[in-house]
Structure formats: C-alpha cells, structure tokens
Amino acid sequence: MNQFTKISIYKLKKLLQNKGYKVYKRHKSYPKTIENFFYTTILGIFVIGFFYIAPFIVNYSKKNFSTNEAILNNSNLNFNRVLEGKEIQENRNLNEDEELDFKNLFTDVLNFDIDEKDTVRLSASTLNQLFKDEDYNLKDIRKNKLVKPISIDLLPSEIKSIENVKKRKELFIQIVLPLILEENKKIRLERKTLFSILNKNINSEAEKNWLKSKFKQYGVVNKDLTTLKVRMDEIPVSLAIAQAAKETGWGTSRFALEGNALFGQWTWSGEGLKPKEADQNQGHKVMKFNVLQASVRAYQRNLNTHSSYKNLRKARAELRDRGNSLDSLILVKYLNQYAETGEKYVEVLKQIIKQNNLKDFDDAKLLPSSIELESLI
C-alpha cells in the first residue's frame, strides 16, 4: 500500500518554483449570479432613491430659483373679443371641462331685452320709500327667507353720499339680492329641465333643440352632458353679494354708477369706462352694461364657464354629489385668480361674508312676480 507524505502548500509552492514553474495566488471569486444580483440591487437602490428625492429637489428649485410666474386670467379678454366679433383663440392644452366654445357664450347677455333708454334711475330716498311701501326689508328676509321680486335697473347716484355705512350696505344688498336670486332661479329651472331630459330614454325634438341651445350658451364642446351638468349651476348668493360689494365699494364706484358694472369685468374695445389712473392710449376699460341684471348674468356665466374657475365648479359638483348645500366659504377659496391680489382677495371676500352675515341669504327664495302669477291663472 502506497503511503503519501503530507506536504504543506508552502512547501509545494517552493518545490514547483524550483522546478521552473510559475505559481500565482488564485483570488477568491463569487458565482456570476451572485455578482449580477449585487450590482442589480445597488442600481435599484440608486434609482428608487433618485425618484424619491427628485420631487423635493424640483419643489426647492421652484421656490428658490424660479422666476415668479404671472397668472393670466383671459376670461375678460375673451368676453371683450366676443363683443368685438373677433375670433377667440382657445387653449388647446385644456381638459374637457376647460374646453370652451365662445361663439354663443354671451349672446343672451349682449342681447338683453332692456334698452338703456328705457331705464329709470331712482333716487336713494325713492328706493327707500318703495322698499318700505312693499314691506321689503333685510330683517324679515333673514328670518323668513322670502324675497319680493323688485327689480332695480340702476343704482341710485346718491348711494355714495349715504354717510351711515350700515344703511348704505343695506340699500346695496336690497338692490342686488333680487337680481342674483333671479339669475339663480333661472339656472335652477334650467338644471331641473336638464335632469328631466337626462332621465329619459327617448327625447323629443324640442328637448334636443333645447340641449343644443344650452351647449352653445355654456360653451360646451362635443355635446358633453357631464360638462353641461357641472357648468349649469348656481352661484351662492352670499358669494355673489360679497364680490359685488368688493368690486364696487358697496355700489359707490364710478364703474357701477355709470356702467352698471357690479363685478369689474374688463374690455379692450371702445365700449367701457377707462380707469382714471390708466394711460389714455392703452390699457383696459371696465365693461358697461345697460342694466344691473345683465352684469349679474355675465358674472355667473364667467364663473360657470371659464377655465380659471374649473376648480370652483369641481368643488361645487362634489358638494352636490354629497347632498350638501353650496357653501360660499368653501367655494370662495377657488376665486384666487379673479383678482391680481390672489389669496388676499379671497381673504377679503371671506371677511365680507362673515362680517355682514351674508350666508343668511343663501337659502332665500324669490317670490313669483305678478306676471308669473298671471301666467299660472
């Protein structure tokens, strides 16, 4: 039986080297699959880490390195181009609710059936006496929620001379409240008609034609019923009063008294009132209306259609879906693009609503007029 002598690695290495062989130390290696797994894991951690911190880097860059971006609200410009009969350029990057057909958007505003020459400007004292004779006062309205259909076409010139702030505010609210309720009532009835049509399997030609007219009136493209349903809705009364109060200084501004402009809509055409501080050769004008009612309608159409107020409409639709009432203090925060002051404008509106208890009028209902009663007989 052969016997083997144990020899160490060191001695074996020396023996081989003496015989002329070159001996190298073999490095320890890992299987290829383990090596690939190792590199893949490292790469994965790097990629995940990159996408995790990327948003923070972007936000930090925007806050600290980006230039301030001006918010352009071209709703007034679009209104002006309609007045001038010009083609309006639409933003092609809008989603479905933001897409707008401007062609017939303000037809019922421009063709308001009251001519300026047929209007009468009543004095503040005459209006106060009229309201007293009709037993029309805000205290009763806050209590019983019923408003008499007294339609005033023009603000009284003396409203800015009323030194008592409370009385001036009350007179202003008494004038604009029925006008806002009238427009909301009109929208509410149309919305009821819309839902009635949507619940039918087959619609008559009259109903189809009615839908076509509303698609045009609300600038809905592609006959999208969902968009029409979202746009055709009321503006909370307290919100409308607050904006009218802010834009006109409670009815005392020159634009309100001379142009019936309750909501400060702009125009670049010849029809309008130029701000006194503006350059005579350039700049915007404030749009004029024949009567106050036309201004209210244009205001509501603006909020119900323009892309700047898409989030307001979305929030309003969500309130409807949950069965909640339209809360002006919730919706007002989506009006930050209405004025150049942005969030400060929103805060001012909130203060006006709260300090003057304007939410008391949100549930108010407009009583039928004598003409409406006669039509029922």
Distance CA 87, CA 185 (A): 32
| DSSP per position, 163-221 | --HHHHHHHHHHHHHHHHHHHHHHHHHHHHHHHHHHT-SS--HHHHHHHHHHHHHTT-S
CB 238 within 8 A of CB 361: yes
Other C-beta atoms lying within 10 Å of the C-beta of residue 296 = 25
User: How does strand 266-267 pair with strand 285-286?
Assistant: antiparallel
Secondary structure, 3-state, 20-31: CCCCCCCCCCCC
Other C-beta atoms lying within 10 Å of the C-beta of residue 153 = 20
User: Amino acid letter at 99?
Assistant: E
Task: For residue 284, count CB atoms less than 10 angstroms from its CB and return exposed for 0-12, middle for 13-18, buried for 19 or more.
Answer: middle
What is the average pLDDT score of the chain? 81
CB 156 within 8 A of CB 122: yes
Instruction: Please report how many Cα atoms fall inside a 13 Å half-sphere around the Cα of residue 28, on the Cβ side.
Output: 0
The yes/no answer on whether domain 75-376 falls in CATH 1.10.530.10 is yes
CB 256 within 8 A of CB 264: no
pLDDT of residue 6: 55
> Could you state, in order of their start, the residue ranges of all structural domains in the chain?
9-69, 75-376
Distance CA 304, CA 287 (A): 19
| pTM value > 0.85 | no
Which tokens is 98 given? Answer: 């933001």
Low-confidence ranges of the chain (pLDDT < 50): 1-2, 4, 27-30, 61-75, 79, 81-94
pLDDT of residue 115: 62
User: How does strand 266-267 pair with strand 146-147?
Assistant: unpaired
pLDDT tens-digit readout, 319-339: 999 999 999 999 999 999 999
pLDDT tens-digit readout, 176-212: 999 999 999 999 999 999 999 999 999 999 999 999 9
Q: Which residues contact 357 (CB under 8 A, 6 or more apart)?
A: 142
Distance CA 208, CA 190 (A): 14
Distance CA 89, CA 101 (A): 10
Q: 57 to each of 188, 262, 297, how far by Cα in Å?
A: 48, 45, 46
Distance CA 20, CA 55 (A): 65
Sign for the pseudo-dihedral over CA of 197, 198, 203, 209: positive
